[in-house]
Amino acid sequence: MILGLLASCVDDYTDANPPRKLDAPTLRLSATGDVKLATVPVNAYQYTYEAYVTYSPVEFTVSIIDAPGKIGSVSVTNSVPGFGDVTINEASVNAIKGATTGSFKFTFTPNPELEDESDRSVNLTVVVTDSQLDEKGEAAPKSTTMVIPTKMQACVSEGIAGVYQVTAADFNFDGGALGTLDDLETDNEGPIFVELTQDLPGRFSIDEVTGGVWPVYYPGRANPVVEIDYCDPDLAGHPGGLTVGGLRTFAVEGMVNGDGTIEISWSYVRVDGNTPANPAKGTYTLTPVE
């Protein structure tokens, strides 16, 4: 009788306190192609990612670094199907099913019928589900979902952030009077410096796009901070990011030379239509400060 009671108590305790379920899969992400990944650790085990891609195919690798319940299934979806297609490498998925670690690949291919390379955003959602069972031997899977905010843009190049000195300049003031680098340095009482800051891969801000003309000669005007795209060696104005203080829109063109110097041409118009005759514009050369 005592043994029977003990067995009953053990069964009741086991039913009321089933074994703790195993942890859900832990994921990591890498990518190849014209892509940059920004990584944000959530905790010691899991990360989140942001992807910046151009309009060319990118292959992502999802690494399952720990799936104690054994890998069961995976899925990848795209929040805006019209922006591109997701193709899962099924062979890589089949190779890891039933394992506790492994990796699989998928490719995101931007839609070639999109008319331009404007900024577009999608979410790529990866779900990895394990195949663990409960104490009764029934399926009780756990899943890990990784949402990858993915920004599609013209380029994701890096390498031009830093402080530069203006080492050559030619410009004219509003109205057409001419100026040179000697004038700038004399009136500034020293060299002119410009800083380029990376806002995100392929996108930079110039903290003073006129190469010293505005702060030296027009200190009452808003300092023209301008965002640019950096695609290959060419610098081009990024549409929608050039209006300063709501009054003026600056156009910027330029070239990054093989020696690291940057050639920039700038001009502006007033958005209210009151652009003066022969408005200020110019060119200058930036040389990296060691």
Per-residue model confidence (pLDDT) at position 13: 47
Is residue 233 a part of any domain in this protein?
yes
Phi-psi region of 72 (alpha: psi -120 to 50; beta: other; left: phi over 0): alpha
The CA R_g of the chain, rounded to the nearest whole Å, is 29
CATH number at residue 143: 2.60.40
The domain boundary residue, chosen from 152, 183, 203? 152
Task: With beta carbons less than 8 A apart as the criterion, state whether 45 and 26 touch.
Answer: yes
- Reported in sequence order, the residue ranges of 96-216 that DSSP labels E, i.e. its strands, are 102-110, 120-130, 143-152, 162-172, 178-180, 193-200, 203-206
Domain interval for residue 42? 18-152
Is residue 1 a part of any domain in this protein?
no
Task: With beta carbons less than 8 A apart as the criterion, state whether 96 and 52 touch.
Answer: no
pLDDT in tens, 145-157: 999 999 999 999 8
Those residues of the chain that have pLDDT short of 50 are 2-10, 13-14, 240
pTM of the full predicted structure? 0.80
User: Do 180 and 96 belong to one domain?
Assistant: no
User: Do 60 and 122 belong to one domain?
Assistant: yes
User: Do 108 and 200 belong to one domain?
Assistant: no
Is residue 11 a part of any domain in this protein?
no
CATH number at residue 170: 2.40.128.420
Write down the H helix ranges in the chain. 2-16, 90-94, 181-188, 213-217
Per-residue model confidence (pLDDT) at position 158: 84
User: Do 89 and 186 belong to one domain?
Assistant: no
Number of domains in the chain: 2
Q: What is the DSSP letter of 80?
A: -
Map residue 276 onto helix, strand or coil. Answer: coil
User: Do 106 and 184 belong to one domain?
Assistant: no
Strands 162-172 and 281-288 turn out to be: antiparallel
The domain boundary residue, chosen from 97, 123, 152? 152
pLDDT in tens, 226-276: 888 888 898 876 554 555 667 888 888 999 999 999 999 999 999 899 999
pLDDT in tens, 192-211: 999 999 998 998 999 999 99
Per-residue model confidence (pLDDT) at position 16: 52
Per-residue model confidence (pLDDT) at position 222: 83
Is residue 43 a part of any domain in this protein?
yes
User: Do 24 and 147 belong to one domain?
Assistant: yes
Map residue 215 onto helix, strand or coil. Answer: helix
The domain boundary residue, chosen from 152, 175, 206? 152
Look at the chain and count its residues: 290
